[in-house]
Amino acid sequence: MCPYNRAAGGGAAQGAALPAGPGVRGTAAAKAPSPWPVLRAHLGRLAVVFAITSGATTAFYFVTVDFPSYAESAGAATKEETSAALLLGMVALLAAMLGGGKAADRFGALPVLRLGFAGLALGSVPLLLAMNAGRVPVPVVTVVLLFLLGLPLAVSNVFAGQLFPPAVRAVAVGLPTAAAISLFGGTFPMLAELLRSAGHNAWLPWWPALTAAAALAASWAVREHPVSVTPHA
């Protein structure tokens, strides 16, 4: 049984018996330990979560939000055609997440995570260049990109949770995740419009590819076996 649960179960009786010492106001002074010392001890893994989330959120915003505008500016398809292709892509995303979760149960989360990011890092730019040249149809590009993205999306939350002990897991995952989504995902539409307005629409695929490469590199920084998701009794 968790010590916090034992304290909760007998807190009322113990609180009445304990005298209030100097500077102590009964049981109100009993506070949970601060998570910050433990978080400082895991700064490297916080950076891993930040990098992985950055790679996933940048690719997600590119394919699901900006892709119709990108394809139209590149002369590959109209926004309506690309939006229709995204319906097929979302089916591929769901299939990849289901398959990725099943594969992670058998082989572990890291191989699934790395496979998806490696595909995005190495395949995004060549695939999109081929689409712009008319050699690969837009629906095929959409399905491939969203399938590759679905692999890290399927396992990243569970994998991130495994990097930290239960006492700080929520904070340790939540802080870098929120920061990465704000800095990379939230700013991607603005970056895309700035590049297009400057006549550099062709540069845009490099940003998701580079952030995916950074996420892939960060995944190799995890050398120790992750901790269990379920705390021991």
- pLDDT digits over 26-60, tens only? 444 456 666 677 677 778 899 999 999 999 999 99
148-193 residue pLDDT tens: 999 999 999 999 999 988 888 888 899 999 999 999 988 998 999 9
**SS3 state at 177:** helix
pTM for this model (two decimals):
0.79
103-157 residue pLDDT tens: 999 999 999 999 999 999 999 999 999 999 999 999 999 999 999 999 999 999 9
Question: For the stretch 187-225, what's the b/e string if a residue is b when 16 or more beta carbons lie within 10 angstroms of its beta carbon?
Answer: ebeebbeebbeeeebbebbebbbbbbbbbbebbeebeee
